[in-house]
Amino acid sequence: MRKFWGICSNDKYKVGCNGASVYIYDANDNELKICKDAPYTYRAKFKPGTNVLAVKSTAGFLLIYDLDELKLLKKIKTSQIGSQDDGFAFTKDGKTLYNIERPVSSTKTRLTVYSTEDYSIIKRLFENDEKIVLNNLDFDDNGTCYLLGFMRNGEGVFDYGFIARLKDDRLDDIRRLERTRYKYLEDYIEWEDSGFSDKKLQWIYSLQNLETIERVSIIDTYNSLEPKSKSLFSRILKKQ
């Protein structure tokens, strides 16, 4: 296989994204098809337990493929602008696809949930919230969604990073990240989303010059952070 910006695989297929095209291979690296259904395609993910593939285009598209039939099932327009670089993920049961989108500007985000039955929109969240900026997400084994992002301050610039659980369509138990830790986690997850592609790493400058790249995850980092209530209680004890 050639070098790609984004790679992913399951036990039957391998996929490479080079921006202009999506390359489909079998497990033995035999090229099956080259797909050119949208520009700027850099990342792809398999629906759990299937050979259905979701490809994200930074130009504002989601492409859904059936690799057994080597055909495009659906092309979804997610935004009218570019800069669609943020995370997307299937739930563990494969019933829904969550996609972070920038609908009207590169500074405003929303979370759109799609049904994988027909890839219709179930709901959109945070679309009108000017303070919340989402970057990526992950699901635990119980199906809970964890969101990585940052909050803007009153002047509209970075205030603090956060990880929060999604509960009842809102951010629950928000845990703060200082800027350096937030940035490292954001960049590492971006690299992970590319399938740890060597080509992608060349463009993540914050990771290039490190002697060792520490493996991190959104959920493990969340669990290592103190809840706000516990943090406040600890500060009270220290003053006594």
What pLDDT digit, counting tens, does each position of 54-92 carry? 999 999 999 999 999 999 999 999 998 888 999 999 999
Say if residue 175's pLDDT is above 50: yes
What pLDDT digit, counting tens, does each position of 19-52 carry? 999 999 999 999 999 999 999 999 999 999 999 9
Alpha-carbon distance 124 to 121, whole Å?
8
What pLDDT digit, counting tens, does each position of 116-165 carry? 999 999 999 999 999 999 999 999 999 999 999 999 998 889 999 999 99
Torsion angle of alpha carbons 151, 156, 159, 164, nearest 10°? 0
Q: What is the pLDDT of residue 9?
A: 97
Burial class (CB in 10 A: 0-12, 13-18, 19+), 234: exposed
Q: What is the pLDDT of residue 83?
A: 83
Average pLDDT over residues 180-198: 97
Enumerate residues 6+ apart whose C-beta is below 8 A from 18. Answer: 2, 4, 5
